[in-house]
Amino acid sequence: MSIDPHKRKNLGRGLSALFGEQEPDAPAPVVHAAPVAAALPVTTAGSALPITHLPLDLLAPSAFQPRRHFDETALDELSRSIAEKGVLQPLLVRVDPQNTGRYEIIAGERRWRASQRAQVHEVPVHVTTLSDAEVLEVALIENLQRQDLTAVEEARGYKRLLDDFGHTQEKVAHVVGKSRAHVANTLRLLSLPGSVQDLIDNGQLSAGQARPLIGLSNAEDVARAIVKKGLSARQAEKLAKGFGKKRRLAVVPKDTDTAALEQTLEKATGYKVSIAFDGKGGAVTVNYASLEQLDDIVRRLSSGGRAGKTDDADGLQQAS
């Protein structure tokens, strides 16, 4: 696909404005050059694709939509506005390649959802032709301009461009108008445990708070501490460094014996226990949910007193 440099400059107005995706009276955000420019819905100079109206039940969200979370309050507000004034900005759609006679939403899923709540039967749309890769590119740019994606959703979108469509990180960066370093750092968030990614997705943890946790064997515990204490990104980094000095491990997959040991310790203590091992050494983590539970763990560990060193234990002898 060749890219007209004049069309590329038009991207500075924002895909949302060109697609009719911008909310009324809202300034169009600026995004830099992107290779989806040739797919902009332009028929003649300065004229957009014609608007048609389609029934809601002929439209469906795209499988390439990176956005997974929709604010319920915002949807209700938009629904009331649509019920009163109708859908003011057309959705961008393409013919569904899997279902003849149906259409896939490229941009405007939020308006489609709100229209359902408002019991509107049809909505204005622009129908265009885009490849799967271009659909994902446009959806990413459109959502990033509106700041509607969480950092993890953004990372998943980048990863899909890399894995499913053979993009390089440089090309992804060019597509979305970001630096390659930004793309690389965002992708690293996907190495965090799923529970930590969930905290980012639901807004409890920011990307800045989460990045210092990458590589920590107990990232989930540190993440919970950051959320509970309401730490800033800088404070989170300091806390993570403190844990990382002793607990950052190149963890190898757990074998059945290690998993069995964890279960044995959990039954003995009544607490969630995880064992991390890097082939040489590791860490045993006992999780607690309250200060009372922490006091109980301390009592259990100190009930027999500290045992003296032995010649063959290289450390502590277990108290009987």
SS3 of 303, please? Answer: coil
Distance, in Å, from the CA atom of 145 to the CA atom of 14, rounded to the nearest integer, reads: 7
- Cα 5 to Cα 32, 36, 45, 174: the distances in Å are 12, 12, 14, 14
Residue 9 amino acid letter: K
**Selected catalytic residue, list 104, 109, 137, 220:** 109
CB 79 within 8 A of CB 111: no
262 labelled catalytic = no
Outline where 68-149 has alpha helix (H). Answer: 72-85, 109-117, 132-145
- Cα 112 to Cα 21, 146, 150, 184, 310: the distances in Å are 12, 17, 20, 33, 70
**Tokens of residue 120, six digits:** 């509107």
Which residues lie closer than 8 Å to 195 by C-beta, 6 or more apart? 220, 223
Instruction: Give catalytic residues, as residue numbers.
Output: 109
